[in-house]
Amino acid sequence: METLTQVASLVVSVAAILAPAGAAAGVVPRVGPGRALVLGLTSRFLRSYPASQRVADAQKLNAFIHAAASDNYIVVSGPKGVGKSRLVNSVVGNYFGVIHVSAAAATGHDELVNKVLREVARTHFMSTDPAPSALRVAWFHKLFFRSPVTVVLHAMERKPGKEPADIDSAARALVGHGLRVIVDASTNAMAEEAVKTMREVFLRMEPMERSVLERIEELAELLAALKEAGLDEVVWKVLGGLPSAYLQLNLNWTVAGNKDIESVATDYMHSRLTMAISEVTKSRAARPDVKPFYDLFVNNEYVDEGVLETMNLTRPNPDKVLRAVVVNGQVVRLVPADNAKRLVLRHKMGKSLPSLDELKMMS
């Protein structure tokens, strides 16, 4: 680290001396070496992120990033809570020059591009166009670190009635500026047409396999307590492969002093089911015509998307109840968005929540 710091100081000094002369000769940009070095080194050495247990997905994402063409951007997508952000952060945590930018719903193209470029150049409080400064920083960063500045766009989930952010067009513009772009997006965060531009490289994440989830160190004590209390199967039935849900349950149990695991787990499962019932109810109220389609999930784990057409239906947009799964690159199947919604649809749950014993008996 000390050697690297000395090298960095030397590079800054040399760059600072050569930049004016080079700029005058039209060889290099005028300014930006200091910011480029600070960005590269701080993001690599002064930030740390927890490791992801999704080893295969991490390897695939890393391979995608390095194999993608200069005009491609990477999209990591999947249901809420499956560990997308942790995966992205754990992979890019080993890179130089990474910035993270949140993209709220309805954020327009110009606003989002401007926000990213200001973050690269650190010109948040200036009214001037950030592009020239950002491009100089990006130029020097690639010179020093032999890699582009990496921008992680965290697409925020949109509420009903809200338009998605212009992620796709902004990503195309940013890669056009020489930046590497990775989009971290839950299922409903991007418009459907945004995933058909032929410029994106997709890593689709599904709920975590149980064997993988059980290797998460932060959950070791919780999982042991659930198993000892005979609750591990029913909790998996409700929460499924959503590590974020297990982490929230673990937090609730910690707040309770790591006591009374049965009561804490039951309350949390009921809260998940209540939210699922609310989403299904709101979807049915907004689109009464989807009720016959939802009824198909009483006896089916999935329904082919083509059934919608035969029933003269379209999916709600955004769809908080179902999600699409691509099988063999061709067939699109619709499945409940998570395990809690699967139980709600299968058993037509309403206001009355099942007891713990009833939950254990449910299929």
Residue 224 CA to residue 234 CA, distance in Å, equals 14
Residue 38 CA to residue 53 CA, distance in Å, equals 30
The answer to whether 113 touches 169, Cβ cutoff 8 Å, is no
Residue 297 CA to residue 26 CA, distance in Å, equals 65
Mean pLDDT of 271-297: 95
The answer to whether 352 touches 363, Cβ cutoff 8 Å, is no
Q: What is the mean pLDDT of the chain?
A: 87
Residue 177 in this model has a pLDDT that exceeds 80: yes
Handedness of CA 355, 357, 359, 361 (dihedral sign): negative
Which range (98-102, 288-292, 330-334, 341-345) has the least confidence?
330-334
Reading phi first (left if > 0) and then psi (alpha if -120 to 50, else beta), residue 95 is in beta
What residues contact 223, with CB distance under 8 A and at least 6 apart?
A: 214, 232, 246
* pLDDT band at 125; cut points 50, 70, 90: low
DSSP 8-class letter at 214: T
Residue 307 CA to residue 123 CA, distance in Å, equals 51
* pLDDT band at 71; cut points 50, 70, 90: confident
Residue 49 in this model has a pLDDT that exceeds 60: yes
The answer to whether 201 touches 72, Cβ cutoff 8 Å, is yes
Query: How many other C-beta atoms can be found within 10 angstroms of the C-beta atom of residue 259?
Result: 9
pLDDT value of residue 12: 47
* pLDDT band at 199; cut points 50, 70, 90: low
Residue 230 CA to residue 117 CA, distance in Å, equals 52
Residue 156 in this model has a pLDDT that exceeds 80: yes
Residue 4 in this model has a pLDDT that exceeds 60: no
State the pTM of this model: 0.83
What residues contact 334, with CB distance under 8 A and at least 6 apart?
A: 302, 303, 304, 305, 308, 315, 322, 323, 324, 325
Residue 37 in this model has a pLDDT that exceeds 50: yes
Mean pLDDT of 26-32: 49
pLDDT value of residue 112: 95
pLDDT value of residue 21: 46
What residues contact 217, with CB distance under 8 A and at least 6 apart?
A: none
* Better-scored residue on pLDDT, 91 or 158: 91
Can you spell out the DSSP letters for 136-191?
HHHHHHHHHHSSPPEEEEEEPPPPTTPPPP-HHHHHHHHHHTT-EEEEEEETTTS-
What domains are defined for the chain?
2-204 (3.40.50), 210-361 (no CATH)
Alpha carbon 124 to its chain centroid, in Å, reads 25
Residue 179 in this model has a pLDDT that exceeds 80: yes
* Better-scored residue on pLDDT, 329 or 93: 93
pLDDT value of residue 195: 53
Percent of the chain past pLDDT 90, that is, above it, reads: 61
pLDDT value of residue 192: 57
Least Cα distance to 206 among 317, 319, 339, 303 occurs for 339
pLDDT value of residue 114: 94
pLDDT value of residue 322: 94
Residue 41 CA to residue 22 CA, distance in Å, equals 24
Residue 274 in this model has a pLDDT that exceeds 90: yes
* pLDDT band at 29; cut points 50, 70, 90: very low
Mean pLDDT of 224-242: 97
End-to-end CA distance of the chain: 55
pLDDT value of residue 212: 92
Query: How many other C-beta atoms can be found within 10 angstroms of the C-beta atom of residue 59?
Result: 11
Backbone angles phi, psi at 325, to 5 degrees: -125, 125
Residue 131 in this model has a pLDDT that exceeds 50: yes
The answer to whether 216 touches 249, Cβ cutoff 8 Å, is no
The pair of three-digit structure tokens given for residue 166, joined into one six-digit string? 């212009």
